[in-house]
């Protein structure tokens, strides 16, 4: 591509993306249900509630900081990148993710911060990180479903509205998927080598070859970081449930949040409908423990804003100076 066209794209695409994402985020926020009530609730917070909200917000930086560290480890054999630059890339990925099904656009936002020749190669490496997070979500979701059944009976809340036959079938399917995912995750090197031999893949094998370099130790390290991120998600939810006065057995609340995260990982959503979906599922699950539906909805909205909207907005700002072509 001629130099003048590269310069044009570099200095025009960034601002256009910023304007597009900013309008998209604004549109999604203003069309969310109960927006006015949420703001009124915020301005009536006690000191304790404000501290909890601030802590939940700070945990967002820890959450994405852990994801940044994961990404650095994943792409270390492809390109060495400083933490702050990687952090900007992760936030920019959220700006793209907010406009695509199940965060698929996240990869695009991240790889734009890498050298031109490394961008496509980084996609497969980034997908390994996503797989690790899904695997942790499945593992914790299975554990949550198992123990929630026991606690529901112990606390006199019945079986949580789940038919015994359906529950058993669900647990079997979930366990099977979890075992298969674990096997796939720890066999990525072997699977990649096998896939490269396929006639329609050979030409593009260079895009996935670096996945072969992941050892069991590397994959376990990524999995541990994914687990810590998961714990951060749960703590954020519990803090905000307390803020909005959703009172119930703390252990059951934590288990229902784990089930909620499992459903989010399974069901395809786009950001435009995600808030409504989050609110509906939250009420269905946590509503079995508390009648404070408004508090449950406020919590879902706050989590969505802290973990999704704010990073996306910050990421869209980082996109202003991004150069699509480095040279």
Instruction: Quote the CA–CA distance of 255 and 82 in Å, as a whole number.
Output: 36
Q: Which long-range contacts (CB under 8 A, 24 or more apart) does 39-48 make?
A: 41/244, 41/298, 45/243
User: Which sequence spans correspond to the domains of the chain?
Assistant: 45-80+120-311
* pLDDT, average across residues 40-52: 76
pLDDT of residue 16 exceeding 70, the answer is no
Tokens of 187: 């066999």
**Percentage above 90 pLDDT, the chain:** 39
Non-local CB neighbours of 22 within 8 Å, separated by 6+ positions: 313, 316
Query: What is the reported pTM?
Result: 0.82
**Percentage above 70 pLDDT, the chain:** 77
pLDDT of residue 117 exceeding 80, the answer is yes
Please give the residue that has the higher pLDDT: either 69 or 96.
69
pLDDT of residue 163: 64
pLDDT of residue 73 exceeding 90, the answer is yes
């Amino acid at each position: 591509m001629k130099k003048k066209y590269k310069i044009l794209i570099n200095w025009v695409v960034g601002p256009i993306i910023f304007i597009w994402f900013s309008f998209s985020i604004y549109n999604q926020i203003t069309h969310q249900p109960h927006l006015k009530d949420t703001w009124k609730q915020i301005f009536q917070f006690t000191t304790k509630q404000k501290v909890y909200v601030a802590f939940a917000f700070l945990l967002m930086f820890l959450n994405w900081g852990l994801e940044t560290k994961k990404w650095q480890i994943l792409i270390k054999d492809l390109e060495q990148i400083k933490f702050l630059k990687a952090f900007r890339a992760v936030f920019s990925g959220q700006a793209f993710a907010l406009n695509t099904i199940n965060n698929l656009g996240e990869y695009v936002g991240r790889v734009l911060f890498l050298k031109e020749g490394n961008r496509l190669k980084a996609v497969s490496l980034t997908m390994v990180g996503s797989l690790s997070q899904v695997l942790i979500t499945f593992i914790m979701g299975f554990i949550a479903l198992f123990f929630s059944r026991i606690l529901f009976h112990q606390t006199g809340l019945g079986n949580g509205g789940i038919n015994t036959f359906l529950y058993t079938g669900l647990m079997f399917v979930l366990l099977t998927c979890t075992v298969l995912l674990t096997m796939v995750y720890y066999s990525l090197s072997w699977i990649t080598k096998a896939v490269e031999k396929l006639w329609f893949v050979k030409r593009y094998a260079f895009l996935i070859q670096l996945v072969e370099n992941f050892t069991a130790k590397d994959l376990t390290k990524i999995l541990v970081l994914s687990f810590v991120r998961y714990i951060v998600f749960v703590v954020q939810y519990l803090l905000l449930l307390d803020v909005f006065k959703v009172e119930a057995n703390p252990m059951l609340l934590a288990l229902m949040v784990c089930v909620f995260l499992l459903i989010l990982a399974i069901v395809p959503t786009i950001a435009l409908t995600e808030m409504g979906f989050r609110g509906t599922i939250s009420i269905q699950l946590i509503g079995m423990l508390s009648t404070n539906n408004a508090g449950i909805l406020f919590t879902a909205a706050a989590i969505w804003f802290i973990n999704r909207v704010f990073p996306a907005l910050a990421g869209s700002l980082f996109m202003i100076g991004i150069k699509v072509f480095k040279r």
